[in-house]
Amino acid sequence: MAKIVLKDISKKYKDETVISGLNLTIQDGSFTVLVGPSGCGKSTTLRMIAGLEKESGGEIWIGDQCVNGTQPGLRDVAMVFQNYALYPTMTVCENIEFGLKNRKVPKQERDALVREICEIVALTPYLDKKPQQLSGGQRQRVALARAMVKKPQVFILDEPLSNLDAKLRNQMRTELIQLHRRLGTTFVYVTHDQVEAMSMGDEIVVMNKGVIQQIDAPMKLYNDPDNLFTAQFIGTPSMNVVDVQAVQGLHVDTSAKIGYVGFRAEHVLMGAELRSEGLELGGEIMTRESLGAENIYQIRSNAGVLFAKTFLSSLETAEHTKVVVPYNRLYYFDPDGNRIRETMIPRQRNLAVIGGALK
Ligand SMILES: Nc1ncnc2c1ncn2[C@@H]1O[C@H](COP(=O)(O)OP(=O)(O)OP(=O)(O)O)[C@@H](O)[C@H]1O
């Protein structure tokens, strides 16, 4: 087990800086997920920790060792990738023990290790099979087992589930969470899928354009985002955000300049739930997505398309509707997208209106 510390890390490819001034501490034994849109620098960060990519500046510490310049094989880190990279001509057993053989681990010890690990990842019945005789999930387990026999201080997983179908992906997520609990080793996991990040990580690092936006536990990110990027990246549907210019009658006590007002779809009140205090908007219901107990509506308002989520019985599409968001459910951001936390509920407790007069 080991804590990982990245100090002022930068990475350039030729003239292009893809990461600059990145500082990150990954706690010993945590399941830390790096998440962000494609190209934001997640894999590059991971590959620098593993030693597969050289940092252009800064220091990387694993445990009490600065590993700048240390070869990947000597970092006590095991990696699992999206493409399992198994040897097709070798059996499951041979694939798993390959690294041990290279390290000249005696046969008896090798056999015991392979048996132990295969029990954990439920591969014992498949030891003599070749990779092409296995399902995607089983192949991914072989890749995991191959990493596990090294008994590394740190597991690094780069989108390991993205080749699996939705059902198997769900199952493997649960298996990985259980595996992490069982091993107690530091897991660093990369995904572009915020749902995967939220369901697996105990600590989530949200990245955008090579810059860390926020590091927090999943629900803290969702309920208390530091900025517009995190607010809109985490959660489905995404947080509704309107330009403050589109809002009339909102009086907020704050010293900061408000640029945007945000609210979550599930905090939108409709029909019988409507109140006489809050942010009110009207519009046409464009679509209704029924999730069984809940409905998600896309509403076209004067301030753009907004989402509302409710357990109330269905409203019809094309219907004109009025909705209200209570003041204590509003998030405020400055014109640069930074969260404004020090706000007071509006002095005038009445309705503010989005998008001008209602029809
Ligand atoms: N070998 C390379 N040479 C030049 N540019 C690179 C190289 N590898 C990555 N990049 C650039 O660095 C940036 C970060 O890439 P990286 O693969 O880390 O992103 P990512 O967040 O993991 O994206 P994805 O989810 O698509 O894998 C991208 O703009 C990419 O084009």
Q: What is the pLDDT of residues 254-267, one digit of tens each?
A: 888 999 999 999 99
Task: Pick the residue whose CA is nearest to atom 12 on ligand 1.
Answer: 18
Could you give the CA distance from residue 69 to residue 66 in angstroms, rounded to a whole number? 9
- Mean pLDDT of the region 20-38: 96
Contact 327, 345 (CB under 8 A): yes
Taking only Cα atoms into account, the Rg of the chain, rounded to an integer number of angstroms, comes to: 25
List pLDDT tens digits, range 215-268: 999 999 999 999 999 999 999 999 999 999 888 888 888 888 999 999 999 999
**Which amino acid residue places its CA nearest to atom 14 of ligand 1?**
41
Does ligand 1 have an atom closer than 6 angstroms to the CB of 42? yes
The average pLDDT across 110-116 equals 90
Question: What's residue 358's pLDDT?
Answer: 43
Is omega for the bond preceding 88 within 30 degrees of 0, making it cis? no
Averaged over 77-98, what is the pLDDT? Answer: 89
Per-residue pLDDT at 343? 75
> Domain 239-354 - what CATH class?
mainly beta
Ligand 1 close to Cβ of residue 139 (< 6 A): no
Report how far residue 175's alpha carbon sits from residue 129's, in angstroms, rounded to the nearest whole number.
22
Band the pLDDT of 30: cuts 50, 70, 90.
very high
Domain 4-229 has CATH 3.40.50.1460: no
Mean of the per-residue pLDDT values of the chain: 89
Domains of the chain, residue spans: 4-229, 239-354
Q: Does the C-beta of 15 come closer than 6 Å to ligand 1? A: no
- 134: pLDDT confidence band, cut at 50, 70 and 90? very high
